[in-house]
Amino acid sequence: MASPPIPAKNEWLRAAETLAIAALGGLVLTWLGFPAGLVTGSLLGVAAAALLGRPVFVPASLSRVISVLVGISLCAVVSPETLKGLAAFPLSVAVLAISTLCMMIATTSYLRFVHGWDAQSALFGASPGALAQVMVLSADYKADLRAIAIVQTMRVVALTIGIPAGLTFFGLTAEGGIMARFVAAGPPSISELAILVAVSTAAALLVWRLRFPGGLMFGAMLASAILHGIGFIHATLPWWVVFAAVIGIGAVTGSRFANTDPGTLLRFLGAALGSFAVAMTVAALSVLLLTTLMSVRIADAVVAFAPGAQDTMMVLALALHLDPVFVGALHLSRFLLVSMLMPFLAYRLRRGPDKPLRERPPGATRPTIED
């Protein structure tokens, strides 16, 4: 049953509270020296507030602005030398495609045979990314939206915490990360900054209107990459804008736990952590294969192959000083692959009208799509 509309005033009050919690969480983890502390802390802070019953919320309009700002920031470090790495993409995408198929098969099998999920719900819970499409398909096929959303969101949370900590532990990240560059950068040229923002925003809106996956972020990334890559623009967004955008992404991800009680979360915790372990095992083997075949930085490959939401993984690339072009291209490639495969596979696994509904996840419901 759809929720009643939220009055505009209350909506923005809830958004202000959510962003304040996100900022506090991000600043605390950054102060404690946690790698990628801004995005990790903001995500954890908002998620914890949601589980404690706070009405966390980020308006769609604000989320879109955040996506554009993140896209501009991600490719602010692109140079002609960065673009030389494009030659590595074809083989990397091929390995990614194989990895994605193996990941979906392995994780679907785990959820189905270990936790007793039906085939379709297991498939939707196993999808590495493309969450919006997955949730629409889940509703269409009467799968358990809450179970799938929890498993998918818990995977993103685990990746956001685990990847920075793991890469830092093994010494695979640059000291200080890319965020330090924005702090150290001098005042930008106002004219260059205006051109950068105007062109990137126009490109983002154009790509978004064309219904390209992740259009706002990737359109802004493309424009920023071209402007910086050809040396036409050298300006970057002010550090406080970049920091705010990163905190905003954490808030958007953490707000997915809204209206989720701790008991429901615990009920699906085993499925979430187990499926995460299966997916990461496949991803780790794929990273090993790719880095053996090609001269690709392990950290770049780890984030590029991580089975998480593309916006959050791209922010990790920003925070950990990784190659945004390589990571972005691979996440976009996987998004396209999953978007094409998921409807076909869900149709193949559909239940016939005379077949009983079997092995549904605990607490399964027959939800409707909210407008």
Distance CA 90, CA 330 (A): 10
For residues 351 and 120, the answer to whether their CB atoms sit within 8 Å is yes
Distances (CA, A) of 346 to 52, 137, 199, 246: 35, 8, 39, 34
Helices (H) and strands (E) in the chain, counts: 17, 0
N-term to C-term CA, the chain? 10
Q: Report if pTM > 0.85.
A: no
Distance CA 21, CA 255 (A): 11
Q: How far from the centroid of its chain's Cα atoms is residue 22's Cα?
A: 17
Buried b (16+ CB within 10 A) or exposed e, 209-239: eeebbbbbbbbbbbbbbbbbbeeebebbbeb
- How crowded is residue 188: how many other Cβ atoms within 10 Å of its Cβ? 17
Among 129, 134, 6, 136, which Cα is nearest to 59's? Answer: 6
Distance CA 110, CA 134 (A): 18
Domain spans in the chain, listed from the N-terminal domain onward: 76-236+257-348
For residues 216 and 342, the answer to whether their CB atoms sit within 8 Å is no
Helix, strand, coil shares of the chain, percent, nearest 5, are: 70, 0, 30
pLDDT for res 278: 95
The full length of the chain comes to 371
Distance CA 122, CA 116 (A): 9
pLDDT for res 280: 94
Distance CA 364, CA 246 (A): 34
Encoded tokens for 84: 């030389």
pLDDT for res 305: 93
Q: How far from the centroid of its chain's Cα atoms is residue 348's Cα?
A: 27
Q: Which residue has the tokens 């096929």?
A: 141
Encoded tokens for 232: 């036409």
Task: Specify the 3-state DSSP secondary structure of 234.
Answer: coil
Encode the chain (371 residues) as per-residue pLDDT tens digits. 444 455 456 788 899 999 999 999 999 988 887 777 888 889 899 989 988 888 899 998 898 999 899 888 877 766 665 555 555 678 888 999 999 999 999 999 999 999 999 888 899 999 887 676 677 677 777 777 778 888 888 888 888 888 888 888 887 765 555 455 555 555 667 888 899 999 999 999 998 888 776 678 888 888 888 888 777 888 888 888 888 988 998 898 888 888 888 888 888 889 999 999 999 999 999 999 999 988 888 999 999 999 887 778 888 887 787 887 788 888 878 887 887 788 888 888 765 443 433 444 444 443 333 33
Encoded tokens for 20: 């304040």
Encoded tokens for 147: 């179970």
pLDDT for res 354: 35
Q: Which burial class, exposed, middle or buried, applies to 370 when counting CB atoms under 10 A from its CB (0-12, 13-18, 19+)? A: exposed
pLDDT for res 5: 53
